[in-house]
């Protein structure tokens, strides 16, 4: 499935030129392009994407400010004419920061990084070293997927509970579960996603995790039991 993205650049010439390069990537799907971050933010209120390509010099607020105010957790690729932006971009946890003009060869390296970060791992591959990347308290973090015990909804945020630590991340539950291995992680309630490898047992309305009882909703019971049986 192609990775969905938006492209934001106030320079129409740069935008037109780079769009020609972007069309060469069959594994990417352009959802919309914008000349400013305001309209892009409005679009993201109603649409989910995997990543955004943003120019650093946008009107109203720049690429960094756009990233800071995002409600939806997405990966960011920054385009810039200022080499100094690269330092801040990597501090912010962006996937990449590329100096304009961008060549096909240079952006291909960025696409490879995006695919590694975003594409969920198929369970049959059994990749024990699969990490998920995110920002927490303005720091870039990575967590081994198999160490995640459960994910809990907290308004506009989710809490990721692992073996040793918890992280609060700006994301919706729907967006976060889409980044996890399918069938290994299932939603058991509107407020909880569990790693089936960490489930100890369950009854008709509760799931027993290590150190916690989580609610099992009636609507999710059948899907949970079907997938949980695969790990017994």
- How does pLDDT run across 195-232, given as a tens digit for each residue? 998 999 999 899 999 778 999 998 898 889 888 887 76
Could you tell me which CATH number the domain at 3-118 has? 3.40.50.2300
How many Cβ atoms sit within 10 Å of the Cβ of residue 75?
22
Q: Is the pLDDT of residue 130 over 80?
A: no
What is the C-alpha separation between 10 and 173, in angstroms, rounded?
Answer: 32
What is the signed CA dihedral for 170, 171, 173, 175, rounded to 10 degrees? -160
The per-residue pLDDT of the chain, averaged, comes to: 86
Question: What local confidence, expressed as pLDDT, does residue 5 receive?
Answer: 95
Could you tell me which CATH number the domain at 124-231 has? 2.40.50.1020
Stretch 166-192: mean pLDDT:
88
Q: Where are the beta strands (DSSP E) in the chain?
A: 3-8, 28-34, 51-55, 75-80, 96-99, 131-136, 139-144, 148-154, 157-162, 166-170, 185-189, 192-195, 201-202, 206-209, 212-215
Please, how many CA atoms are within 13 Å of residue 141, restricted to the half-sphere of its CB? 17
Stretch 115-137: mean pLDDT:
64
Stretch 94-105: mean pLDDT:
93
Question: What local confidence, expressed as pLDDT, does residue 159 receive?
Answer: 95
> Could you tell me if residue 47 is left (phi over 0), alpha (psi between -120 and 50 degrees) or otherwise beta?
beta
Question: What local confidence, expressed as pLDDT, does residue 28 receive?
Answer: 94
Do the beta carbons of residue 7 and residue 22 sit within 8 Å? Answer: yes
Q: Is the pLDDT of residue 60 over 80?
A: no
List the end-to-end C-alpha distance of the chain, in Å, as a whole number: 30
Question: What local confidence, expressed as pLDDT, does residue 184 receive?
Answer: 87
Map out the domains of the chain as residue ranges. 3-118, 124-231
What predicted TM-score, i.e. pTM, was given to this entire model?
0.54
Q: Is the pLDDT of residue 126 over 60?
A: no
Do the beta carbons of residue 130 and residue 184 sit within 8 Å? Answer: no
What is the C-alpha separation between 132 and 197, in angstroms, rounded?
Answer: 17
Question: What local confidence, expressed as pLDDT, does residue 17 receive?
Answer: 92
């Amino acid at each position: 499935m192609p990775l969905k993205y938006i492209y934001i650049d106030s320079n129409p010439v740069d935008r037109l030129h780079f769009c020609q390069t972007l069309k060469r990537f069959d594994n990417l799907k352009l959802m919309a392009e914008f000349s400013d971050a305001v309209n892009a933010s409005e679009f993201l209120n109603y649409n989910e994407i995997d990543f955004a390509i943003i120019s650093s010099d946008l009107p109203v607020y720049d690429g960094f400010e756009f990233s800071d105010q995002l409600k939806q957790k997405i990966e960011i690729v920054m385009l810039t004419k200022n080499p100094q932006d690269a330092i801040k971009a990597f501090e912010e946890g962006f996937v990449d920061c590329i100096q304009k003009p961008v060549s096909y060869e240079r952006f291909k390296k960025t696409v490879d990084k995006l695919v590694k970060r975003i594409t969920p791992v198929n369970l049959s591959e059994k990749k024990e070293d699969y990490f998920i990347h995110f920002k927490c308290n303005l720091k870039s973090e990575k967590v081994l997927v198999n160490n995640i015990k459960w994910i809990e909804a907290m308004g506009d945020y989710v809490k990721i509970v692992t073996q040793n630590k918890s992280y609060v991340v700006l994301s919706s539950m729907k967006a976060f579960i889409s980044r996890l291995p399918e069938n290994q992680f299932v939603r058991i309630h509107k407020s909880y996603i569990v790693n089936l490898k960490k489930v100890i047992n369950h009854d008709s309305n509760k799931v027993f995790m290590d150190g916690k009882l989580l609610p099992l909703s009636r609507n999710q019971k059948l899907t949970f039991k079907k997938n949980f049986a695969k790990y017994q």
